[in-house]
């Protein structure tokens, strides 16, 4: 019995000494890693979709998409088709065509843990093919004094086919995850025409995907509101920011030293 009690005491003493020999890490780092979803995000432009219901002179649809390459870099594209009828001062015409935009988006927003929102800047190269159809027009007659200055045009109305244009587009936008994998987005766009093939005697006043052109300027503006869904393909761990180097402790002055006289 005495041997048993002695053995218990010796074991307790050794175990207690081993436990006290371990140092306690008060600066233990969090090892929890958050994995972000990577995949294809497909959506539709709500602005063009809505115009189909409240405008009788417009038909259009734009499909949006992007693919995540890295934590903040996306390759993006928009594909659309539009038919727009415009009524100018002395003529009415309809433009019909399709366009494709390709480019990249860079997310500049640092998400909190578990968030997948973005505020991004981006660029696109865009190309559009289209045609114009003259629905009606009036001819200005400077010899008419008492009557209207405009005369009805001929019944042989013109159609200009095989037109195209290309431009660069700067994009500033945001995407917010409103439900899991479902995003609501908005963006503004500034375009600069690189090429603009026009018909003889008729300028490209409106270009699908570019919107209205301005005489004497190659710039144009646009915007969109998108609703998109992310199809997750895989996940990657979110990269952590590099922690700043800890400042080295400054050496303390030795105690007991007397100042020099």
Instruction: Classify residue 24: in a domain, yes or no.
Output: no
The domain containing residue 229 runs over which residues? 33-133+164-237
46-72: pLDDT as tens digits: 999 999 999 999 999 999 999 999 999
Q: Is the pLDDT of residue 1 over 90?
A: no
- Give the predicted TM-score (pTM) of the model: 0.75
Whether residue 7 has pLDDT greater than 70: no
pLDDT at site 247: 46
Q: What is the CATH number of the domain that holds 82?
A: 2.40.160.20
Between CA 164 and CA 1 the distance in angstroms is: 102
Count of domains for the chain: 1
Beta-carbon contacts of 178 under 8 Å, excluding residues fewer than 6 positions away, are 184
Structural domain contains residue 149: no
Amino acid 242: pLDDT? 59
Tell me whether residue 147 is in a domain: no
Summarize pLDDT for 123-168 with one digit per residue, the tens.
999 999 999 999 887 765 555 555 555 445 445 568 899 999 999 9
In a domain, residue 231? The reply is yes
Running DSSP on this structure, what letter comes out for residue 77? Answer: E
Q: Are 153 and 95 in contact (CB under 8 A)?
A: no
User: Does the pLDDT value for residue 210 go beyond 60?
Assistant: yes
51 falls within a domain? yes
Asked, for residue 152, whether it belongs to a domain, the answer is: no
Q: Domain for residue 207, yes or no?
A: yes
- Any domain includes 96: yes
Which helix (H) or strand (E) segment is 244 a member of? Answer: none
């Amino acid at each position: 019995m005495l041997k048993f009690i002695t053995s218990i005491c010796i074991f307790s003493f050794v175990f207690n000494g081993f436990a006290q020999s371990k140092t306690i890490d008060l600066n233990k780092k969090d090892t929890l890693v958050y994995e972000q979803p990577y995949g294809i995000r497909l959506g539709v432009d709500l602005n063009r979709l809505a115009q189909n219901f409240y405008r009788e002179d417009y038909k259009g649809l734009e499909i949006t998409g992007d693919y995540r390459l890295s934590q903040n870099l996306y390759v993006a594209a928009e594909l659309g088709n539009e038919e727009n009828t415009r009524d100018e001062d002395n003529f009415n015409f309809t433009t019909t065509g399709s366009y494709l935009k390709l480019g990249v988006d860079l997310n500049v927003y640092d998400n909190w843990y578990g968030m997948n929102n973005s505020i991004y800047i981006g660029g696109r190269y865009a190309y559009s093919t289209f045609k114009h159809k003259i629905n009606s027009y009036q001819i200005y007659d400077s010899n008419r004094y008492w009557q209207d200055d405009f005369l009805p045009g001929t019944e042989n109305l013109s159609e200009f086919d095989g037109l195209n244009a290309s431009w660069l587009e700067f994009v500033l936008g945001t995407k917010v995850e409103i439900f899991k994998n479902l995003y609501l987005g908005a963006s503004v766009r500034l375009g600069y025409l690189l090429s603009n093939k026009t018909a003889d005697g008729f300028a490209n006043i409106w270009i699908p995907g570019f919107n209205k052109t301005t005489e004497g300027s190659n710039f144009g503006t646009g915007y969109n509101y998108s609703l998109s869904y992310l199809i997750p393909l895989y996940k990657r761990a979110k990269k952590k920011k590099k922690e700043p180097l800890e400042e080295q402790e400054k050496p303390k002055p030795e105690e007991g030293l007397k100042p020099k006289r």
